[in-house]
Structures are given as structure tokens and as C-alpha cells.
Chains A and B, each alone.
Chain A
Amino acid sequence: MTARPLCPLAGAGQGGPGAAPALVLDFAARPFEVRRSLATVARHLTEAGLGPETRGRVEIVLAEALNNIVEHAYRGQPAGRVTLALRREGGLARVRLCDHGAPMPDGAPPARAPARGTLPEGGFGWTLIRALSARAAYRRMTGGNCLDLEIALG
């Protein structure tokens, strides 16, 4: 089963005409597929001449956003798919993640890491995304989610 990408990949906020994404991946929303896709992104950034510090930063942000899609948007839906489109623009990596899963609770990313006692075992994802990205914009579309992320390169 193939689902059409939810967001037009060269659409609004993703650069002008002809600015095709440098990398587009469509994969199943499962942990080992996420891992494989992150490796592809890391390889792409290596080939673009970016160093390990920058790659690590991009990889953490994308890992957290993708894990949220797997664990929350597609909870109980193992057949869900994710589209990742990445382009480099100026000193930024601009990444759009689209899925057909459930919306974020309250229609927005969690405002703050939930206080769950002195030693939380979760709730770190958005802390890391916010700390390491220049911009994170979430939109609920008909039947899916779209998350635009911008991460400084170098």
C-alpha cells in the first residue's frame, strides 16, 4: 500500500521554484526503519562535507521527531508511513516530515517537558528538538501531520 505524500514537498515554505529537496525518503513508521533513514540522512550530510558535530545535531532532532511519529501519531498503526524531505539552504538544513497519523494532543507540540518527579524517563523529545533546532513549525492537515524543522549547519 502506498500513500501519496501528504505535503507537496516543494510547497509553501520550502523554497522557490526549482528548489527540489536534495533528499526525499518514504518509509514505514517503525523503529528500525527510522534508524535506517537516519543513517541515510547522516550519509547525505557527510557527502555534503558536514562534520560529526553538525550531523549529530541533525540526527538528534530528526530522531526525536520521528520517534514521536512512531510512538504517538501512529500508535497502534504499524502500517503507517512517513515522508522526509531535506534540503540545504544557506546555513540551514530544512526538513519536512509528513505522516498520516493522529494529531498532536491540543493541536501543538507540548509546551514544556512534563514534570514527572525528580527522575523522568520520558518527555525529553521536545526539549531536545527545541534546543537543537532553529525553528520547528507544526501543522495539522486533513488526515495527517506536517512538521517543518530548520537546523543550523555548522
Chain B
Amino acid sequence: MQLRPETRGGALWVIVEEPRIDAAVAIQFKDRMREIAAGGPDRVVLDLSQVGFLDSSGLGAVVAVLKLMGEGRRLELAGLTPTVEKVFRLTRMDSVFTIHESPEAALGEAGA
């Protein structure tokens, strides 16, 4: 599970360098995110622009990451590819996250 954490504009960015977040890797994703986000900035942006496919297990893992970050911290999503965007929309989880069209758009709001 390739996740690349970076700090940008006071936020923690996590670039998912994987083509898929599916049932085969959902638990790994959640565990790695838990390690990466622990004790970091309140604002976390997940860059999904390299992820072409996410199934309901992957979706559940992203929701789980949001929940384990706890009160007062934000998990935002950026760069959803069409199939990934569809999964968030059809399950109405698009209303739970702040979703940026692109990583650049999310960066524009750094520190907001």
C-alpha cells in the first residue's frame, strides 16, 4: 500500500499511489492511514487522483479513517476519478466529506 504523506500549507496531504482501494487492500489502507494521521495536523487531504477504482470495502475504509481521526479534525478528498466519484455519490457519502475537484483546488484552500 503506497501512501505518500506530505505537509503542505499546514495540512497533511496523503497521496494514494495505488490504482485501487478495494477489498484486497482496504484493511491495509486503514491501518496505514491510522499511522500516518496520528498526531498530525487537524486538516488531512487525501489525494485520490491516481485511484481509478474504489469498491464499498474501500469506501468503508475511508469512512473508518474519518471516524478514527476524531473530533476537531477534518478529512478532505481531492481528485476523485469518475468511477470513484460515482461510488461516493450513489452511497451519499459525498455529503459526508469535503470533496475538491483537484489537488490544486484543495491547495487553494490551504489554511482556510
Contact = CB atoms under 8 A, between A and B. Distances in A.
Contacts of B64: 121
Contacts, number: 65
A34 B96 CA distance: 29
B55 A64 contact: yes
Interface in A16-37: 31-32, 34-35
B90 A128 contact: yes
Interface residues of B, number: 23
Contacts of B24: 31-32, 34-35
A53 B82 contact: yes
Nearest to B96: A119
B8 interface: no
Nearest to A130: B90
What bracket does the count of chain A residues touching chain B fall in? Answer: 20 to 34
A56 B60 contact: no
Q: Mostly helix, strand, loop or mixed at chain A's interface?
A: helix
B2 interface: no
A37 B60 CA distance: 22
A124 to B, nearest CB: 4
A111 interface: no
B68 to A, nearest CB: 11
B60 A63 contact: no
B57 to A, nearest CB: 6
Interface in B1-39: 20, 22-24
Of all A-B residue pairs in the complex, the 6 with the closest CB atoms, nearest first, are: A56-B83, A31-B24, A124-B56, A121-B60, A63-B55, A131-B90
21 contacts: A31-B22, A31-B24, A32-B24, A35-B20, A52-B83, A53-B82, A56-B83, A57-B86, A60-B55, A60-B83, A60-B87, A63-B55, A67-B56, A70-B23, A119-B63, A121-B61, A124-B91, A124-B93, A127-B90, A127-B91, A131-B90
